[in-house]
Structure 1
Amino acid sequence: MDTAFRKIDIDVYDEDVLQEEELFDADPREPAQVLSDAKQRQVAVRSALAKSDVLGALNIVLENAPYGPNVEEAKTVNLSTLLNILNTTKSADIPNVIKGLSQDGQDTLMKYLYKGMALPGGGDINWSILLGWHEKLTEVAGTGCIVRTMTDRRTV
């Protein structure tokens, strides 16, 4: 029995097939510029955390978050900056900080929480902190935040 037909990629012959780059607009900035912006944000976040401004630090990180296929290093810098914020925030302050974020900020925060949960253990990842933030974010933003995060094709 011939099974060679099962190895044919039929999507090559379909004009209407969706390509991943067609699902969302690419980040218009150059990868070097995105990395530079992420490093500048890291410095601004440290300054905000020194003033105990957790909400301001979160807004800095979540605003203009890098996305797309060519900015992996900037995504890593942004994630480590966000994890630093999450690790230094008192658990009693979390709900008020989340309430201060816009809906887009809450959705982007959820994306970062899932990205942090997907990373292998070790380093600066504290699972209990990520799960605590996820719980509080879901309480404040509702399950719609999870749905919007899962359906958005722009990954951070």
Structure 2
Amino acid sequence: MDVNFRKIDIDKYDEDVLLEDELYEADPRDPAQVLNDTRTKVNAVRSALSKGDTVGAITLVLDAAPYGASVEEAKNLNLQTLTSILNSTKASEIPSIVKSLSQDAQDTLMKYLYKGMALPGWGDVSGSVLLGWHEKLTEVAGTGCIVRAMTDRRIV
């Protein structure tokens, strides 16, 4: 029996197939510029953390987060920067930090929490840190934050 029919990509013959780049507007910045902006942001975050401004540091990371298929290096650098902030924050400070963020920043933070949880072995951050942040974020922003993070096509 011939099983070659299973290797045929039938979607290429369908006119109504949505491609991933058709689902959202791509980041208007050039990939090299996105990476450069992210590297600059990392230095600004370190400066804010040295001054004890955790809210400012998290806001910097979450503002204009890189998204799209061509900026993987920038997305990973931004995730590493955020996880270093999450690891260094005391659990008692989390609710006040989350309350000070805008709704868009809260949604982006939720996306990064899920991305961190999706990493094999959860990367450089322990599970209790990510789950603690998830709990506090859900208490403040509600379950709508989870729904918005899951349904947004712009993946961080």
User: Which category describes the TM-score, using the shorter chain as reference length?
Assistant: over 0.9
Structure 1: distance between partners of 2:20 and 2:39: 28
- Quote the offset at 1:30 in angstroms: 0.9
User: Normalising to structure 1: TM-score of the pair?
Assistant: 0.94
CA distance in 2, matches of 1:75, 1:114: 14
Which position in structure 1 is the counterpart of 2:145?
Answer: 145
Higher helix share: 2
Q: Which runs of 5+ in 1 are unaligned?
A: none
CA distance in 2, matches of 1:81, 1:110: 15
1:7 and 1:36 map into 2 onto residues whose CA distance is 41
Amino acid at match of 1:35: L
Residue in structure 1 matched with residue 10 of structure 2 by the alignment:
10
Q: Deviations over 1:16-62 (max 9, x none)?
A: 21111000011111111111111111111111111111111011000
Identical positions, percent: 70
Structure 2 runs not aligned, ≥5 long: none
Query: What whole-Å deviation, never above 9, does each CA across 1:54-91 have from its counterpart, x for those lacking one?
Result: 11101100000000001111011100100011011111
TM-score by length of 2: 0.94
Match of 1:131 in 2: 131
Using the TM superposition, name which of 126-135 and 6-15 deviates more.
6-15
In the alignment, the residues of structure 1 paired with residue 107 and residue 60 of structure 2 have an alpha-carbon distance, to the nearest angstrom, of: 15
Q: 2:104, 2:123 → 1: CA distance?
A: 28
DSSP 3-state at the match of 1:99: helix
